[in-house]
Structure 1
Amino acid sequence: MIPDPSAPAPTVRRKPLLAVLLAPLFMALIAVSVINVALTAIGEGLGADSSGLQWVLSGYALAFGVLLVPAGRIGDATGRRRMLIIGIGIFTLGSLLSGLAPNVEVLNISRILQGVGSGLLNPQSVGLIQQHFRGQARARAFAALATTVAVATAVGPVIGGLLIQLLGPELGWRWMFLMNVPIGIAAIIGAFKLIPDDRVRTRTRPDLDPVGAGLLTLAILGIMLPFLERGASVLVWLSLPAGLIVLGLWWAWEQRYKRAGRPPMVDTAIFSQQAFRNGIVIISVYFLGATSIWIIVPLFLQMHLGHTALEASLMGLPSSIAAAFSSQLGGRHVLRLGRKMVIVGFGIAFVGLLCTTILAGFVDAGWVAFWWLAVPLTLMGLSQGLTISPNQTLTLNSVDPRFGGVAGGILQLGQRTGAAVGTAMIPGIIFSLTEGGHSWLEAFTIAMVIIMALTLVAMGVAFADRARETSAPGAL
């Protein structure tokens, strides 16, 4: 008999299970955030130029992004535990090779391996939460996931700065990667012990829609590539419209595949759920602006005001503490308040952005110390816990848990695409303005106004979804 992957195992120990799911996520997120303070040390240690260093970041992001949805589909169809363990193993191997890399070429290949592992394990974590948690327990689980994101994002740069300071530039950046190895091994052991075996056993090979997977992979590559390469050529930018065309072909293929009576990689009917569509738009637009905050503030402090990387990285700590707190608050009340909570979160974000913009003028003039910027930035962390985790809970609640991996992959793909575009676009605007004769303060202010506008757009979609909730209360 084929096991139903949507059925929660009655004997599962949920708290240990959640810990096993969050440990590799924490490890993968640290790998993203820690690298921001290590690029200078890596460049000096390996004699790498800016192009080589760019792909230390971009290779990981591309490999991660293109695998999210196909990996979610494979996990849903064949078993999530096995895919999670494979993902952790590949990520751990990539971490080991990154720490031992003799040159930047090997490092970039190893970072791609890390991205592959992260892309494989992330949808399984979301799918397993969908599978083994229900109702308020699921909301709390997603809140714990959001807390993990907040803590990892904050402590990553601090850990990186401390390792470089304690071990020196050469060993410091290597141990940023090597520290993941024991965590990965422990996570694999924990997965075998605590996650029920959910392999789907059939006499025939499962239909994984390889053409659909290939088309979507090519589409994501084309769409994301120009935003991951600084100063991309016109030829590279042509991949964007090409990617959009391939995305249309993928959509047509998936519908044709379903009409032929075969299971598509993504059943496009999933997008008929208004709550699911709105949730993807909300988080994609939010990530388009909000994630770049933690790039442009350090740029303003380091490149303009001359502060150190460690000083700049510490600016995010209060925000992350606030995010960890508000994530728990959000998980406790999201099912009762619905999109109202997300709307409030966006309102807090807007106030934080506005106050940061105003305060930056006083810091620039030398009237107040730079660390005062941490006060309005803390509001960004507070808003994060009231938007990201509740949005994930509300969005995925509209999806059958059997397709939790694919749905989680699509939602995370929206986040990653928004983040990739935003972190290329917003800093690019600042550099263009400063090189064109504008002052750093003017460029920073214009960038912040754009982020505030994007926040209002996301809030507008949240208001629209709140209207849906009001007209159909059962949708929650």
Structure 2
Amino acid sequence: MNNKSLMLFTILLAVFVVPSSISGTAIALPFIAQELGNQASALQWVVNTFNLFFASFTLIWGAMADKFGAKKCLLLGVFVYVLGSLFSIIARDLLLLDIARALAGIGGASVFASGASLLIKNFEEKERAKAFAFFGTTAGLGITFGPTISGLLIDTFANTSMGGMLISYRAIFAFHFLVLAIVLLLGQALPKDDSNESAKNPFDILGAFLFVLSLFSFMAFITFIAYFDSQTLIALVVFFVCGGLFIGQQKSLHVKGLSPLLDLEVLKNKRFFGFSLVTVIAGFSFVVLLTYFPSFLQAVWGFSASSSGLFMLALTTPMLFCPFLVAKMLNSGWDTKRLALMMSLLMSAGLIILAVILYLFPVQWQILPVILLLFIIGVGMGLHAGGIDNLALSSVDPSKAGLAAGVLNSCRLGSEAVGVALYGALLFFFVSMSVSFLSINVADINAIVAGNTKDIADGTKSYLYAFCATLVILGVLCLVLSTYVWRLLKQKQ
């Protein structure tokens, strides 16, 4: 294996772990709740913290890779991810696990930002296209098989203990730890950073701090909104203050001719903005299902972790072929406006119809329609994954493509983080509402939200009602965004 092949293999190993962590970790939530406690907000943050810091630090690592070198940043990020995985294994309470997942999210962001930077700098044009095809395919494989691998690991080690600690869900984090430890060992295969290529502009530390704090406070507001207490109001105030300061500071850098962390000027381009909103729809539909549908399968249908992971292939399999399909569609002259609308409607309408079938159809009639709807939503996501970046970035001036890519990725990752947090808040709200018409106790709300419904009277009914109501609200929101996407794309630039 030559140096370039070994470098590509090393990067792809790391790339596989990150999306598999996003798609696979949520399947462990009921098991985490059984062992570490089922406090709803703390449990939500097991998923939220990874998504939050992954979204926040993708921009930051990209800027740092330009400033300090992609190899240094990639290996540092992988090391942080390894630490996060190790702390996730040994965590004995939800707070430590939340902190560990935050570290993993920070490290995961480096893998994508710095890994892509290494490919750009070390592969020529024809080789680069092939390398990025492997990069995208590997990410798709991670998303596709993350739930399946995680479910199999949980069931395999469900009754295994080590040092007085049940392995169970910890096998997922151990898998991440081992794979990324191999990446660190192979790190010598990565080419040295060229000191002459470091960015001339100083790294925007203030912008990075305000960006992270803005997104964190907004997600905290969404998480606490079901309680609507002083914490909710504090989070909202912090969001408005930090968000306003961040926008003002980024505009100031733009005016001064310096490189802002996030150039918001490209959002004035209506086509770019319209295509970018499709990523928000994906974050509020596909990513929510990817994260939380395994919990539904275990809580309502009584599936095991491994069976839930296998069932999720109905949703994730289209990620393997739809990116190639959309490329053929675009090359054959498909109207881009209609294509963007089709992606959006497949995901948003699919979400609403799924909720209706789960709530109204008899259980024995549900499995085949649900598999079909998950596949349809997955097709919408797969078409989006393969085409929306090309459509969005092609609508801006080539000289601004780099800045536009930063905005697009922030929109995508931020909406995924916010969508998952919004789902958790809505689920808690509707489970709390069900107390008024079902035979459940207030003390059981957290357990139901965590998916542990077996020993609770009407617990399954409460979870089903809350899950379907949440999907309908998210689906309607996505439908509204779909109509706005159509309006934006119809307007003349």
Of residues 391, 395, 400, the one that matches 2:392 is 395
Deviations 1:179-237 (A, max 9, x none): 123322443466653567455556x9851122222222221221121234585552222
2:153 alignment partner in structure 1: 163
Deviation at 1:109, TM superposition (A): 3.1
Of residues 146, 151, 154, the one that matches 2:141 is 151
Deviation at 1:148, TM superposition (A): 4.2
2:342 alignment partner in structure 1: 344
Matched, 1:74 2:64: yes
Query: What amino acid maps onto 1:235 in structure 2?
Result: S
Deviation at 1:367, TM superposition (A): 4.4
Larger deviation: 133-142 or 428-437?
Answer: 133-142
Whole-angstrom CA distance in 1 between matches of 2:417 and 2:138:
21
Q: Classify 1:217/1:292 alpha carbon distance in 2 versus 1 (closer, same or farther; 3 Å).
A: closer
Gaps of 5+ in 2: 160-165, 439-460
SS at match of 2:178: helix
Q: Classify 1:173/1:299 alpha carbon distance in 2 versus 1 (closer, same or farther; 3 Å).
A: closer
1:117 alignment partner in structure 2: 107
SS at match of 2:207: helix
Taking the TM superposition and a 5 Å limit, the aligned residue runs for 1:219-234 are 219-228=214-223, 231-234=226-229
1:208 alignment partner in structure 2: 203
Q: Classify 1:216/1:369 alpha carbon distance in 2 versus 1 (closer, same or farther; 3 Å).
A: closer
SS at match of 2:365: coil
Taking the TM superposition and a 5 Å limit, the aligned residue runs for 1:79-158 are 79-101=69-91, 104-125=94-115, 147-158=137-148
Query: What amino acid maps onto 1:368 in structure 2?
Result: W
Whole-angstrom CA distance in 2 between matches of 1:137 and 1:271:
32
Q: Classify 1:334/1:22 alpha carbon distance in 2 versus 1 (closer, same or farther; 3 Å).
A: farther
2:317 alignment partner in structure 1: 321
Q: Classify 1:210/1:31 alpha carbon distance in 2 versus 1 (closer, same or farther; 3 Å).
A: same
Query: What amino acid maps onto 1:327 in structure 2?
Result: P
Q: Classify 1:89/1:174 alpha carbon distance in 2 versus 1 (closer, same or farther; 3 Å).
A: same
2:53 alignment partner in structure 1: 63
Query: What amino acid maps onto 1:435 in structure 2?
Result: V
2:490 alignment partner in structure 1: 467
Whole-angstrom CA distance in 2 between matches of 1:317 and 1:129:
29
Q: Classify 1:414/1:164 alpha carbon distance in 2 versus 1 (closer, same or farther; 3 Å).
A: closer
C-alpha contact 2:27 2:295 (8 A) present in aligned 1: no
Of residues 460, 476, 479, the one that matches 1:453 is 476
Q: Classify 1:149/1:237 alpha carbon distance in 2 versus 1 (closer, same or farther; 3 Å).
A: farther
Q: Classify 1:144/1:58 alpha carbon distance in 2 versus 1 (closer, same or farther; 3 Å).
A: same
Matched, 1:248 2:244: yes
Whole-angstrom CA distance in 2 between matches of 1:360 and 1:109:
35
Query: What amino acid maps onto 1:89 in structure 2?
Result: F
Whole-angstrom CA distance in 2 between matches of 1:230 and 1:38:
25
Deviations 1:49-71 (A, max 9, x none): 65654443333333323323222
Q: Classify 1:329/1:350 alpha carbon distance in 2 versus 1 (closer, same or farther; 3 Å).
A: same
1:424 alignment partner in structure 2: 424
Deviation at 1:162, TM superposition (A): 1.8
Q: Classify 1:129/1:355 alpha carbon distance in 2 versus 1 (closer, same or farther; 3 Å).
A: farther
Larger deviation: 354-363 or 28-37?
Answer: 354-363
Deviations 1:4-58 (A, max 9, x none): xxxxxxx996x87665544323212222333223234344555786565444333
The CA RMSD over aligned residues, in Å, is: 3.9
Query: What amino acid maps onto 2:265 in structure 1?
Result: A
1:177 alignment partner in structure 2: 173
SS at match of 1:168: coil
C-alpha contact 1:67 1:116 (8 A) present in aligned 2: yes
C-alpha contact 2:26 2:294 (8 A) present in aligned 1: no
1:353 alignment partner in structure 2: 351
Deviation at 1:99, TM superposition (A): 2.3
Matched, 1:29 2:22: no
Whole-angstrom CA distance in 2 between matches of 1:104 and 1:454:
31
Q: Classify 1:372/1:16 alpha carbon distance in 2 versus 1 (closer, same or farther; 3 Å).
A: farther
Aligned length: 457
C-alpha contact 2:151 2:307 (8 A) present in aligned 1: no
Q: Classify 1:215/1:16 alpha carbon distance in 2 versus 1 (closer, same or farther; 3 Å).
A: same
C-alpha contact 2:352 2:476 (8 A) present in aligned 1: no
Q: Classify 1:116/1:201 alpha carbon distance in 2 versus 1 (closer, same or farther; 3 Å).
A: same
1:376 alignment partner in structure 2: 373
Query: What amino acid maps onto 1:221 in structure 2?
Result: F
1:287 alignment partner in structure 2: 283
Whole-angstrom CA distance in 2 between matches of 1:295 and 1:39:
10
Of residues 324, 327, 330, the one that matches 2:326 is 330
Deviation at 1:385, TM superposition (A): 0.6
Whole-angstrom CA distance in 2 between matches of 1:396 and 1:131:
20
Gaps of 5+ in 1: 1-10
Deviation at 1:94, TM superposition (A): 1.8
Larger deviation: 448-457 or 377-386?
Answer: 448-457
Query: What amino acid maps onto 1:381 in structure 2?
Result: G
Larger deviation: 246-255 or 441-450?
Answer: 441-450
Query: What amino acid maps onto 2:111 in structure 1?
Result: L
C-alpha contact 2:77 2:106 (8 A) present in aligned 1: yes
Query: What amino acid maps onto 2:168 in structure 1?
Result: G
C-alpha contact 1:126 1:404 (8 A) present in aligned 2: no
C-alpha contact 1:127 1:404 (8 A) present in aligned 2: no
Whole-angstrom CA distance in 2 between matches of 1:82 and 1:176:
27
